[in-house]
A = this chain, B = another copy of it.
Amino acid sequence: MKAGTDLAQIGSLVGDPARANMLAALMGGTALTASELALEAGVALPTASAHLAKLSDGGLVSVARQGRHRYYALADHRVAAMLENIMGVAATLGPKRVLPGPRDKAMRDARVCYDHLAGEMGVAMLDSFVGRGLIRVDGERAEMSSAGASYFAGLGIDLDTMGRKRRPVCRTCLDWSVRRSHLAGGLGAAMLECILTRGWARREKDSRVIRFTPMGRREFEMMLRG
């Protein structure tokens, strides 16, 4: 009975189309203002405001006031993982999903999940790190080996400051399209940033898709081979 109440509370938050669209938009990882989310959800500003208040009260999103703006973001990597999970179930359950279009294909290949790389390439990346002994995985938790520490430092990632933050360095997150884990946590975010700043790939506008350049893909694959 108590368990059911908990379920229902979260479910009803996610269950409204406008709120679901907002959450889906926030899965892109960038914080968005109330107006942007209203547009995204296709509702008027007052309506969006009410929805965002509920999401915020419910703990699914966080707010950061900045001047006259209010930036909303997913509260937590766990919330992001939960949404990915639900999407995954929806994908397998969906009435009969028509053959995946090109947009879908790109999403499966590489996309942003909250703030790290997901999709086939994200899964391949974690696989490589694990295979080379740089990271050890244990359920949702994961940890870096000493070999990993020197390797990631060599990529120019600042592990010291990362280690001091509250956020765990290594996490895994279940990928809904591949149904396997990809790398999340501070390191996952840093790796995505690394990929983007090196120009291997760039984010597609208004979507979660990450497009690798042909060159970038080659570089990325070389990195995975070690």
Q: Interface residues, chain A, CB within 8 Å of chain B?
A: 1, 3-17, 19-25, 27, 41, 58-60, 75-76, 78-79, 81-83, 85-94, 123, 127, 130, 137-141, 172, 174-175, 179-181
Contact = CB atoms under 8 A, between A and B. Distances in A.
A11 B20 contact: yes
Contact of A140 (B21, B141, B174): B174
Contact of A9 (B25, B90, B92): B90
Nearest to A23: B7
A14 B140 CA distance: 24
B10 A23 contact: no
User: Which label, helix, strand, loop or mixed, suits the secondary structure of the A interface?
Assistant: helix
A4 to B, nearest CB: 3
Interface centre among A15, A16, A59 (most CB of B within 10 A): A15
A4 B39 CA distance: 13
A23 B6 contact: no
A21 B138 CA distance: 31
A11 B12 contact: yes
Nearest to A92: B78
A24 to B, nearest CB: 4
Interface centre among A9, A88, A89, A139 (most CB of B within 10 A): A139
